[in-house]
Structure 1
């Protein structure tokens, strides 16, 4: 699945506020529910937190990829955001996170979920991509840079 199919400009969030991992995930859940009113922000938040309890989705280099299966979700939904300041996310390298890609998928799409996570992780393993995304100063710029970076990868 292409990044362009997962992500929308409205869910590319530059400098999203959040003083903790939980507050950040709550803000993301609320943003998703605003764009997709059929999904309840509390359910999204609880699913993301339940996944985080299994182990942090902070993959290192200031990046996290929170993800979960979402009841009632008909197609994968992506949220890209930067934070300012960086947030403690219990990442594997113990570095704070300032770049997140959240992936919400239908409950029954296990293989697609894994494949999409691998594609996102590969994109964010590129230091040039991370640097470009961190330089975005607006949500529109963040979206455009992400789509361009994915197309070039």
Structure 2
């Protein structure tokens, strides 16, 4: 699975304005609703449900919120860079400024885990992460992600 299997140019945002975790999840949900056709509220509820199980902040300023939705027809992702980091309840306590949200159908099984692994592997590349953090343009941000043309193994 490649990062571009998860995100499209329309699902990348280099300037998220959220100031809290809840607001960030709402902003991501609204963006996702436009690309997947489900109501933003359903997406937000799925993300919030998952966050109640434990923070999806993986540390070092990165979060990978995710959720499963019964009505979803495929796997969708939204990648964003926040203008200002927000407290996300990450285990390391670091505020989040990069977020890769993933939505999958309830029946996705292993594909859900493959998508999460793909996002996590991409965001472990320190050079890429530093470049993503310095990018302020949606198209340039997507281009950086698209350069990850090699699929990640599951």
Q: TM-score range by the shorter chain?
A: over 0.9
Question: With CA pairs under 8 Å and 6+ residues apart, which has the higher RCO, 1 or 2?
Answer: 2
Contact conserved, 2:64 with 2:100, CA < 8 A, in 1? yes
SS of 2:4's partner is helix
Aligned residue for 1:61?
Answer: 60
Residue 128 of structure 1, CA deviation: 0.7
2:61 is the counterpart of 1:30: no
TM-score, scaled relative to structure 2? 0.94
TM-score, scaled relative to structure 1? 0.94
Aligned residue for 1:137?
Answer: 136
Mapped partners of 1:61, 1:74: distance in 2? 32
Contact conserved, 2:132 with 2:144, CA < 8 A, in 1? yes
Contact conserved, 2:55 with 2:88, CA < 8 A, in 1? yes
Aligned residue for 1:96?
Answer: 95
SS of 1:18's partner is coil
Structure 2 unmatched ranges of 5 or more: none
Equivalences for residues 13-92 of structure 1 within 5 A:
13-37=13-37, 39-92=38-91
Mapped partners of 1:7, 1:121: distance in 2? 14
Mapped partners of 2:64, 2:108: distance in 1? 17
Supply the RMSD in Å over aligned alpha carbons.
1.2
Structure 1 unmatched ranges of 5 or more: none
Contact conserved, 2:6 with 2:115, CA < 8 A, in 1? no
Residue 72 of structure 1, CA deviation: 0.8
SS of 1:80's partner is strand
User: After TM superposition, where is structure 1 displaced by more than 3 Å over at least 4 residues in a row?
Assistant: none
Mapped partners of 1:35, 1:115: distance in 2? 21
